[in-house]
């Protein structure tokens, strides 16, 4: 029950009670919580106080209001650590999410045009593009560039449905030791928009990733185009995870 003598505001106490009930499973995802009127009567407080408590949980993306229907527990999006040195596929698997990998452009050696952010700019590098799906929904596209001298022969390996990090580990006996990546909001058009099932006006998360190995820095460079309507993509601060 609420404690009127506590220094914590009543609305905050009620928000904590509701949150505890959500975490305990009393209010499963997509179910409606009691109405403001019911909560006010149950806890002996005014509706403005109840409304403050609900507003707090809405701002925290725990609850969502649906016009004319009520307030519901929001289904929590799975969070994918986008900078796992074990690879993008492993990041999904850690969340218990199975993915389907599809090669959009097979691995081939190609000359890289002028691009100040691409470490292979003006050189040759192996390039491939692949699409990650969760069930039938496209989630992200990765354009991947690999060091031509270090990954000789990788264009002869069928990467359809396979983890690239596992191939690098098992075939080339290499594991990344560090890296960095940048984030920005971007847009895609043409074939990329079709493959991601978005329009040219849909904002997507554009990530540029640089992986460093004992042999050299920037051995693998990737550009990731991520839809954010199904997953929350994150990066752990203070360290990077690896298996």
Whether residues 55 and 121 fall in one domain: no
- Cα angle 82, 84, 87 (rounded to 5 degrees) comes to 95
For range 24-37, the mean pLDDT = 92
Whether residues 69 and 93 fall in one domain: no
- Does 212 fall in a domain? yes
Under 8 Å between Cβ of 195 and 234: no
Give residue-wise pLDDT tens across range 178-227.
988 899 999 999 999 999 999 999 999 999 999 999 989 999 999 999 98
Please tell me the predicted confidence (pLDDT) of residue 99.
80
Give residue-wise pLDDT tens across range 115-152.
999 999 999 999 999 999 887 889 899 999 999 999 99
Q: What is the DSSP string of the chain?
A: ---TTSSS-HHHHHHHHHHHHHHHTSS-TTPBPPPHHHHHHHHT--HHHHHHHHHHHHHTTSEEEETTTEEEEPPPPEEEES--TT-HHHHHHHTT---EEEEEEEEEEEE----TT-TTTTSEEEEEEEEEEETTEEEEEEEEEEETTTTTTGGGS--TT--HHHHHHHHH-----EEEEEEEEE---HHHHHHHT--TTS-EEEEEEEEEETTEEEEEEEEEEE--SSEEEE--TT-----
Kindly tell me if the per-residue pLDDT of 91 is higher than 50. yes
Q: Tell me how far the alpha carbon of residue 129 is from its chain's centroid.
A: 19
What is the span of the domain harbouring residue 23?
Answer: 10-73
Among 50, 73, 96, give the residue marking a domain's end. 73
Kindly tell me if the per-residue pLDDT of 11 is higher than 50. yes
Give the bridge partners for 65, in sequence order: 71
- Does 239 fall in a domain? no
The number of CA neighbours under 13 Å toward the Cβ of 71 is: 22
| Beta strands across the sheet bearing 178-186 | 100-111, 124-134, 137-147, 216-226, 204-213, 178-186
Among 53, 73, 93, give the residue marking a domain's end. 73
Whether residues 162 and 214 fall in one domain: yes
- Does 179 fall in a domain? yes
For range 25-51, the mean pLDDT = 94
CATH number of the domain enclosing 196: 3.40.1410.10
Under 8 Å between Cβ of 176 and 212: yes
Under 8 Å between Cβ of 6 and 14: no
- Does 214 fall in a domain? yes
Kindly tell me if the per-residue pLDDT of 242 is higher than 80. no
- Does 5 fall in a domain? no
Q: What's the CA gap between 13 and 124, in Å, rounded?
A: 61
- Does 3 fall in a domain? no
Whether residues 118 and 47 fall in one domain: no
Which pairing describes strands 100-111 and 78-81: parallel, antiparallel, or unpaired?
Answer: unpaired
- Does 241 fall in a domain? no
Whether residues 145 and 212 fall in one domain: yes
Give the bridge partners for 180, in sequence order: 210
CATH number of the domain enclosing 43: 1.10.10.10
Please tell me the predicted confidence (pLDDT) of residue 240.
41
| Number of structural domains in the chain | 2
């Amino acid at each position: 029950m609420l404690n009127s003598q506590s220094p914590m505001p009543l609305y905050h106490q009620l928000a904590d009670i509701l949150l505890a009930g959500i975490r305990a499973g009393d209010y499963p995802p997509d179910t409606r919580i009691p109405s403001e009127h019911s909560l006010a009567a149950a806890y002996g407080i005014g509706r403005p106080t109840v409304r403050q408590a609900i507003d707090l949980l809405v701002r925290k993306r725990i609850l969502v209001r649906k016009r004319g229907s009520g307030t519901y527990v929001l289904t929590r999006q799975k969070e994918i650590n986008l900078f796992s040195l074990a690879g993008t596929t492993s990041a999904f698997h850690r969340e218990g999410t199975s993915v389907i990998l599809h090669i959009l452009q097979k691995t081939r050696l190609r000359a890289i045009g002028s691009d100040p952010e691409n470490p292979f700019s003006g050189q040759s590098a192996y390039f491939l593009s692949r699409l990650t799906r969760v069930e039938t929904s496209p989630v992200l596209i990765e354009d991947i560039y690999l060091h031509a001298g270090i990954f000789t022969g990788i264009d002869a390996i069928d990467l359809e449905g396979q983890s690239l990090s596992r191939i690098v580990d098992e075939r080339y006996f290499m594991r990344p030791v560090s890296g960095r990546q940048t984030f920005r909001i971007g847009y895609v058009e043409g074939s990329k928009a079709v493959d991601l099932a978005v329009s040219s006006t849909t904002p997507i998360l554009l990530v540029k990733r640089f992986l460093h190995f004992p042999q050299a820095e920037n051995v693998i460079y990737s550009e990731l185009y991520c839809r954010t309507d199904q997953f929350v993509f994150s990066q752990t601060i203070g360290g990077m995870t690896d298996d």
